[in-house]
Chain A
Amino acid sequence: MMDIQELVEPFARMLQAIAPASTVRAIEQGARIDALWAEIAGSGYLDALVAERDGGAGLDGLCAHGLWQELGRHIVPLPVGETMIARALLAGAGVPAPGGPIALAVAAPGQDAMVPLGRVAEHVLVDDGRQLYLAPAASARGEPTGVAGDLGASMRWETLEGLAWIARPECGLRAMAAVLRAALIAGAADHLVTVTAGYCNDRVQFGKPIGRQQALQQNLAVMAEEALAARIASQIGCASGLTPSLAAAACAKSVASAAAVRIAATAHAVHGAIGISHDHDLQLYTRRLYEWRLSDGSEGYWNDLLGGAMLASADTAVDFARLHCR
């Protein structure tokens, strides 16, 4: 197994080159995704999680975490992490994957599902609770959410019959997607900590950088703690590979989701009015933190499941964390 950084650094450099904020904004405004997708597909990273016997790189969960964190750090406006998951599952089942972007959804027939990046996906891997269907995006009735800049879509399949399907992993697609969201949150959070600390050192008020104010220093320290909590928790979610335990996924998404809103709040508080403006990049990040928090179960959803499992066990708190949240 390669060192994680050896894998992640070239990926991060590529994203920096091909997905600057201007590209993110253009795609949000409806620009074509073909060029950006071609670069990413051509890099080979889409098969990072496909097992080696199936022709992929066979990376482990923590390597995947490193890649996903970079996708969050660069707020890549395409379902790259989702496609990595889908391609690994499809390859494992011996089903050829389509070449385009694949989003993830949990939806029974006739049920509306909020699908992050649904508007820029060609296919959606749909978990109906029994099987995973590979559905062309065009096979769904899809509506934009109407939220400013949002690439998500509300999608609905009246029937999934006749579509190619594969076996559903026991943990379900929601747990896998939740761990991806947690890693994305961790990446964007880390970026915001860096730029917010930088802004504190640049912005002068009362004759000195605002970063010299103890009140801000205390808030920034807490922000760094929250970002670290999101990183470590999301790594717990990834530690056992593509299919997390319920407790590991819950820990990851609960902690990351709770951190996401607090990190966004501090970033905005420090940046002041300019951070609310469309032209400033801060909103590109905070809008996604809010979206990822709400996608695939908020902290409340996962805490409910995790607490139920904890109460149903006979374990002490430390033993439960040690034995199950991994």
Chain B
Amino acid sequence: MFDSLTLAALPPEDEDIRPAIRALIADAIATLPTDRRARSWAGFDADFSRRLGAEGYLGLTLPRAYGGGGRGPFARFVVVEELLAAGAPVAAHWIADRQSAPLILNFGTEEQRQAYIPKICRGELFFCIGMSEPGSGSDLASVRTRAERTAAGWRLNGQKIWTTNAMHSDYMIALVRTSGTAADRHNGLSQLIIDLRAPGVTIRPIVDLAGDAHFAEVFFTDVDLPADALIGAEGEGWQQVVAELAFERSGPERIYSSVVLLDAWVGHLRSVGRDDRATRTLVGDFTARLAMLRAMSIACTARLAAGESPVVEASLVKDLGTSFEQELPVRIGDDLAAHPDEPVDAELHRTLLYVTHLAPSFSLRGGTREILRGIIARGMGLR
């Protein structure tokens, strides 16, 4: 079953990117303590994103004509893997590079492509995605934020919530209702590009349980948008969103959220010289699964590179990957506290607790575990 997912190798020309991006990252993270690096793709540094853009590491999958790298999903995999493995702060450009620019390329007009994609590739325009609302979490088709046609374009009213990085972003691509009611479900939904500096937009950061403000609620009160705020076809928003899911759910970010902690813990074991059988077995278990998950993510990337949209396969990768990410802090915590007389430095302790506290979010963001398993079951012919 799911036979299309099979071992694939990263092409040598894409592997060749590694040394240069690695040097750039080393420079950026030199002064970041481990528990900051553990923020992974929640770490925000606009200057670093601009530097990545200037060096040609953003928009790698996009055509050169729009300022992209003209490469493909494998090249992007290598760059993203290096960034996440090191815990580099990638939040500023993350959504724009992964989803917004490809969406605009696929569904946008030529004017929209010219207006947004080159700046995204330079790391100058940051995007967020407006999906969840107070009454719409997993049941996304029930969104109530509404855009009405006006003589000049659209008038937007409603509210988004849990929007990652809204307060640092220039634009939001939001899923909103443009016709019908919530009872029409997937029909009547459209995607709009919203200038977050437009009058009537209010953004309130929400502080998370670790004390960070990485997500926000966003209110729209009679926000007037031009006609070309619509991206793709009116009423096709749901289909467009579904087409993005394979990009969103199969990447290394679904495997590596706890990898900075893993490396910090292994560093601790090496420094205290603990390598008894139980320790080796635990390290081996993590290593085997990391290698398997990485290969699975590359296998999914190969389907993307072949022009497919492996939504079910991406769900398999994300569910397995986030389970692994969540298990790491639990078992590493047990291991460290099972050796109470072994000194643990404060940075590792903070990293462990940060990842422990945030880990439940790994299987919420980008589609909950239960929703993904439903998608997989349907892909298996159940229901």
Binding site for B on A (CB under 8 A): 62, 190, 193-194, 197-198, 200-201, 211-212, 214, 216-218, 220-222, 224-225, 227-229, 231-233, 235-236, 239, 247, 250-251, 254-255, 258, 299-300, 302-308, 310-312, 316-322, 325
Contacts of A255 in B (CB 8 A): 288-289, 292
Can you pick out 18 interface pairs between chain A and chain B where the beta carbons lie within 8 Å of each other? A193-B380, A201-B381, A218-B373, A222-B373, A224-B2, A224-B316, A236-B292, A254-B285, A299-B288, A303-B283, A311-B279, A317-B290, A318-B259, A321-B287, A321-B290, A321-B291, A322-B294, A325-B295
Cβ contact within 8 Å between A217 and B373: yes
How big is the B interface, by class? 35 or more
Cβ contact within 8 Å between B320 and A254: no
Given A218, A228, A306, which contacts B2 in the complex, CB threshold below 8 Å?
A228
Cβ contact within 8 Å between A317 and B1: no
Given A194, A224, A231, A250, which contacts B376 in the complex, CB threshold below 8 Å?
A224
A63–B374 alpha-carbon span in the complex (Å): 33
A198–B380 alpha-carbon span in the complex (Å): 9
Cβ contact within 8 Å between B377 and A303: no
Cβ contact within 8 Å between A232 and B290: no
Interface 1/0 per residue, B273-292 and A, CB below 8 Å: 00101011111111111111
Lowest 3 A-B CB distances belong to which pairs? A307-B284, A303-B284, A307-B283
Chain B residue at minimum C-beta to C-beta distance from A300: B281
Contacts of A320 in B (CB 8 A): 287
Work out how many contacts link A and B, with CB atoms closer than 8 A.
174
Cβ contact within 8 Å between A250 and B284: yes
Contacts of B47 in A (CB 8 A): none
Cβ contact within 8 Å between A304 and B280: yes
Binding site for A on B (CB under 8 A): 1-2, 5-7, 9, 81, 85, 256, 259, 262-263, 266, 269-270, 275, 277, 279-292, 294-296, 299, 316, 319-320, 370, 372-374, 376-377, 380-383
Distance in Å: Cβ of B18 to nearest Cβ of chain A: 9
Cβ contact within 8 Å between B288 and A233: yes
Given B283, B289, B374, B377, which contacts A311 in the complex, CB threshold below 8 Å?
B283
Q: Given A236-B7, A255-B288, A321-B287, answer yes or no on A310-B259 (Cβ-Cβ < 8 Å).
A: no
Distance in Å: Cβ of B371 to nearest Cβ of chain A: 11
Distance in Å: Cβ of A312 to nearest Cβ of chain B: 8
Contacts of B295 in A (CB 8 A): 232-233, 235-236, 325
A258–B288 alpha-carbon span in the complex (Å): 11
Q: Given A224-B316, A225-B320, A320-B287, answer yes or no on A62-B292 (Cβ-Cβ < 8 Å).
A: no
Residue with the highest number of chain A CB atoms closer than 10 Å, among B256, B270, B292: B292
Contacts of B270 in A (CB 8 A): 311
Residue with the highest number of chain A CB atoms closer than 10 Å, among B5, B291, B294: B291
Cβ contact within 8 Å between A233 and B281: no
Distance in Å: Cβ of B236 to nearest Cβ of chain A: 28
Distance in Å: Cβ of A49 to nearest Cβ of chain B: 18
Distance in Å: Cβ of A299 to nearest Cβ of chain B: 7
Residue with the highest number of chain B CB atoms closer than 10 Å, among A190, A193, A197, A231: A231
Chain B residue at minimum C-beta to C-beta distance from A235: B7
Contacts of B294 in A (CB 8 A): 318, 321-322
Cβ contact within 8 Å between A225 and B7: no
Chain B residue at minimum C-beta to C-beta distance from A236: B295
Cβ contact within 8 Å between B382 and A227: no
Cβ contact within 8 Å between B6 and A306: no
Cβ contact within 8 Å between B376 and A308: no
Contacts of A231 in B (CB 8 A): 5-6
Distance in Å: Cβ of A175 to nearest Cβ of chain B: 14
Distance in Å: Cβ of A59 to nearest Cβ of chain B: 15
Distance in Å: Cβ of B273 to nearest Cβ of chain A: 10
13 other A-B residue contacts (CB within 8 Å) besides A62-B7, A201-B382, A221-B376: A193-B380, A217-B373, A220-B376, A239-B7, A251-B291, A258-B285, A299-B288, A307-B280, A307-B282, A311-B270, A311-B279, A318-B81, A325-B288
Cβ contact within 8 Å between A220 and B285: no
A214–B374 alpha-carbon span in the complex (Å): 8
A228–B1 alpha-carbon span in the complex (Å): 8
Given A304, A317, A321, which contacts B281 in the complex, CB threshold below 8 Å?
A304
Given B2, B282, B287, which contacts A325 in the complex, CB threshold below 8 Å?
B287
Cβ contact within 8 Å between A197 and B380: yes
Contacts of A305 in B (CB 8 A): 280, 284
Distance in Å: Cβ of A6 to nearest Cβ of chain B: 15
Contacts of B289 in A (CB 8 A): 229, 254-255
Residue with the highest number of chain A CB atoms closer than 10 Å, among B262, B275, B288, B316: B288
Cβ contact within 8 Å between B296 and A302: no
Contacts of A194 in B (CB 8 A): 1
Q: Given A201-B381, A311-B266, A311-B269, answer yes or no on A318-B256 (Cβ-Cβ < 8 Å).
A: yes
Contacts of B280 in A (CB 8 A): 303-305, 307-308, 311
Contacts of B381 in A (CB 8 A): 197-198, 201
Contacts of B287 in A (CB 8 A): 247, 251, 306-307, 310, 317, 320-321, 325
Distance in Å: Cβ of B265 to nearest Cβ of chain A: 9
Residue with the highest number of chain A CB atoms closer than 10 Å, among B256, B266, B282: B266
A72–B7 alpha-carbon span in the complex (Å): 19
Cβ contact within 8 Å between B290 and A308: no
Cβ contact within 8 Å between A228 and B296: yes
Q: Given A217-B373, A224-B380, A318-B85, answer yes or no on A306-B288 (Cβ-Cβ < 8 Å).
A: yes
A198–B382 alpha-carbon span in the complex (Å): 8
Contacts of A216 in B (CB 8 A): 382
Cβ contact within 8 Å between B2 and A200: no
Cβ contact within 8 Å between B1 and A307: no
Contacts of A222 in B (CB 8 A): 319, 373
Contacts of B81 in A (CB 8 A): 318
